[in-house]
Amino acid sequence: MNDEHSVEQIDTLIEPRWVLPIRPSGGLLEGQAIAVDGGLIRAVLPAAEAAHRFAARSTVRLPEHLVMPGLVNAHTHASMALLRGVGDDLPLQRWLTERIWPLEQALVGPDFVHDGARLAAVEMLRAGVTTCSDMYFYPDLVARALTSVGMRAVVGIIAIGFPTAYAVDADDYLRKGLQARDALRDEPLVSFTLAPHAPYTVTDETLARVSTLAEELDLPVHIHVHETAREVEESIERHGVRPLQRLERLGLLSERLIAVHAVHLNDQEIAQLGRVGASVVHCPVSNLKLANGLARVPAMLAAGVNVALGTDGAASNNRLDMFDEARLAALLAKSVAGDATMLPAALALECATINGARALGLEQQIGSIEAGKEADLVAVELASPEVCPLFDPVSHLLYASGREHVTDVWVGGRHVVRTRQLTTGDGIALDRAVVSTSAAWQNRCRQLLMK
């Protein structure tokens, strides 16, 4: 029996029925506890042993729950939550030219970006998303909005070839983004990517500069690429090569590359991405809703591409729901491959957690439940009628449960959602505030669309 002086004081002991650590792959633990101290996972060990080894200031018992790593949304435009539903059931070009671009031109500014990002953060946290990688204007305001409600933010230093309210040209975008990075350097929940929008909106000169900055600053490069067949055709017409070939020519095809969507890749391009260790962020709901095609995820996985998942923005999804994305990714992979064993539940959940962390350069910090990592954790209740009977908790987590079953969320050890209620500030007041603010923006959008 342990001497009382050998008992270790810790902040929190979490005792769920199951733990899905993600690493090692496919492992599921039962009767284990997670010890958390100073924001980090101190240990994962049998609950009986934990009771003797640790004295916790707080013990959370979850006898009907599975605890897994926080979900990683590897691609979104958080502020576009305020444009949810404005262009539904339109083809891509009309969606952009008749809805999104005119509204953004009229509305985008500091208040829009902050309010939209905060709305998105509330939605994502309650759905078990603890980290998101964002690509939008005013990255400093996005970071502050996301972290204000307790979320981990990876924000893009955007570059695009046309002026907006945020910046006048590509150099201005990069300069302001780098200033934001300097200003937020000491924020523990904030990190950055370089985020040129897409090959068709960014010049060779800017892409080459991004390549240099990525090397100098050791940052990932987050970019839309091969999203549509038209994009590929226009690249051949304008540059004589396909978009990925152009990125390779400019020094961007490396392990730092995060290729978003990547729907229209040929065999050679998939093999290239695998060889260099690049990542693809698969956004199945957005791809389907805008009729952009079916990504060749089975071929990517076979080639060794790191496949992560993202929701895209709520304007083209309309949910920031990573359980939806993981489930649909698994189902589509089976259909595309004609193989029901393709992308099984455990692997789909890896795509939604550790693979996203790897793409963002955060694999050593988040994405799995391991001692020494940040305590970004999600508890999912698996005893409701709609998820019974329960034969395989991992399979059930993907195919039967959803964001409505998330009850508790921790980010860096902080209990940010407790029994389905946000704990940051007054959670109920925050819910009301984001709903009220979104209603005001909805009225402004409606007035603009009526003109």
User: Cα separations (Å) of 414 from 55, 246, 374?
Assistant: 18, 43, 10
The single residue listed with the structure tokens 């002086």 is 5
Query: pLDDT tens digit string along 346-389?
Result: 999 999 999 999 999 999 999 999 999 999 999 999 999 999 99
Q: Helix 170-183 crosses helix 204-217 at what angle (to 10 degrees)? A: 20
What's residue 418's pLDDT?
A: 96
- 201 CB burial (10 A radius; 0-12, 13-18, 19+): middle
Q: What is the mean pLDDT of the chain?
A: 96
Query: pLDDT tens digit string along 171-203?
Result: 999 999 999 999 999 999 999 999 999 999 999
Query: pLDDT tens digit string along 75-127?
Result: 999 999 999 999 999 988 889 889 999 999 999 999 999 999 999 999 999 99
What's residue 450's pLDDT?
A: 86
- The answer, yes or no, to whether residue 2 has pLDDT greater than 50, is no
Closest CA relative to residue 158, chosen from 222, 245, 114: 222
Q: Helix 139-148 crosses helix 110-126 at what angle (to 10 degrees)? A: 40
Q: Mean of the pLDDT values across residues 143-149? A: 97
Closest CA relative to residue 219, chosen from 188, 185, 244: 185
Q: Mean of the pLDDT values across residues 420-443? A: 90
What class, spelled out in words, does domain 4-69+376-419 have in CATH?
A: mainly beta
| Alpha helices (H) along 345-405 | 345-351, 354-359, 393-399
Closest CA relative to residue 120, chosen from 143, 101, 87, 90: 143
Q: Which helix (H) or strand (E) holds 92?
A: helix 92-94
Q: Which helix (H) or strand (E) holds 434?
A: helix 427-450
Cα dihedral value 137, 194, 222, 362, nearest 10: -110
Contact 289, 262 (CB under 8 A): no
Worst-scoring range by mean pLDDT, 67-76, 256-265, 324-333, 419-428?
419-428
What's residue 429's pLDDT?
A: 85
What's residue 5's pLDDT?
A: 56
Q: Mean of the pLDDT values across residues 145-164? A: 96
- The answer, yes or no, to whether residue 4 has pLDDT greater than 70, is no
Query: pLDDT tens digit string along 201-215?
Result: 999 999 999 999 999
What's residue 24's pLDDT?
A: 83
Q: Mean of the pLDDT values across residues 222-234? A: 97
Contact 441, 103 (CB under 8 A): no
Q: Around Cβ 303, how many Cβ atoms within 10 Å?
A: 17
What's residue 1's pLDDT?
A: 40
Contact 132, 78 (CB under 8 A): yes
Say which residues have a Cβ less than 8 Å from residue 93's Cβ, sequence separation at least 6.
none
User: What percent of the chain shows pLDDT beyond 90?
Assistant: 93
Q: Mean of the pLDDT values across residues 248-266? A: 98
Query: pLDDT tens digit string along 9-27?
Result: 999 999 999 999 999 877 8
- The answer, yes or no, to whether residue 63 has pLDDT greater than 80, is yes
- The answer, yes or no, to whether residue 237 has pLDDT greater than 80, is yes
Show the CA angle centred on residue 387, arms to residues 386 and 388, nearest 5°.
95
- Residue 15 three-state SS: strand
β-pairing, 71-76 with 279-282? unpaired
Q: Domain spans of the chain?
A: 4-69+376-419, 71-359
In angstroms, the CA 214 to CA 175 distance is 14
In angstroms, the CA 1 to CA 216 distance is 54
For the chain, the C-alpha Rg in angstroms (whole number) is 22
**Domain 71-359 coded CATH 1.10.420.10:** no
